[in-house]
Amino acid sequence: MRIVVTRRIPEAALVELRAAGKVWMPEEDRALEPGELRKAVAGADAIVSMLHDRIDASVAEAAGPGLRVVANVAVGYDNIDVPALTGRGVLVTNTPGVLTDATADLAFGLLLALTRRIAEGDRLLRARQPWSFHLGFMLGTGLQAKTLGIVGPGQIGQAMAKRAEAFGMHVVYSGRSDPKEELLRQADVVSLHCPLTAETRHLIDAAALKLMKPSAILINTTRGPVVDESALADALLAREIAGAALDVFEREPAVEPRLLDLDNVVLTPHLGSATVETRTQMALLAAENITAVLAGKEPPNPVHR
């Protein structure tokens, strides 16, 4: 069996994969260009993909008729053309569950960093700017009695809600197909936890941002294209909303340049699942999915669409 791993993963997962077949992984730890990816997967029985890999019909064709499974090391699988692969008899799997707490921790950390101006204060000190304590210095806002609006009440959204309730926040929810206008009008904080689909792309656009309170903030730890970044920059500059914290970006790794200059914006480079424990568990789960399919068994986490 030939197993292609598109980018470096923890050794524990590689050990499991090597027991199932011959593993190929690029020497350089970087995202493969589309042409490199198609060349790498030639003759593959299984592919371990990352969220930046676009796995479509051209990749499946390049792999050949022996391709049996693509294991995406992520919960979301918007980077994979699932119908194109399943139409060729290729199973697609993902890694849900194991990153719930890590992502919710990061989302709530972004909320605190923004409302208590933690990142802004850090920048001030590192720039060696003069400062002195006084009662009006770098005032933020508290979370107690504020309303958190969660768009996407799945596992991560519910974990975010538990953290918010511990801080005395009131939580309201909206699913992907539910009307969101009332949530946007009501919430002091809007936190996005819905998957990226055709329906959720630019879910937060100029019109949605205009519905939010001028004092409200937006948190995005799901997928970048759920937010229209240009419209977000416009809204922040016009003070239509008070701030934003983003861990994911519309054209990742690029960031809307205007966001980089705003003090009421906190930015992190897709760190939602970035703990040693979580990333290891994600890779191990992907390996389990691969080894199960290659052994003729049902994988733990098949994607059905």
Q: Which residues contact 271 (CB under 8 A, 6 or more apart)?
A: 106, 247
Nearest 5°: phi and psi at 4? -100, 125
3-state SS, residue 202: coil
**Sheet of strand 22-24, all strands in order from the earlier edge strand to the far edge:** 22-24, 2-5, 46-49, 69-72, 91-93
Q: Whole-angstrom Cα distance, residue 267 to residue 113?
A: 10
Q: Whole-angstrom Cα distance, residue 273 to residue 242?
A: 27
**CA of 263: how far to CAs of 56, 126, 220, 283, in Å?**
39, 14, 17, 36
Q: Whole-angstrom Cα distance, residue 149 to residue 147?
A: 6
Residues known to be catalytic = 223, 252, 270
Q: Which amino acid is at 249?
A: F
Q: Whole-angstrom Cα distance, residue 129 to residue 266?
A: 20
Sort 248 into a burial class: Cβ within 10 Å, 0-12 / 13-18 / 19+.
buried
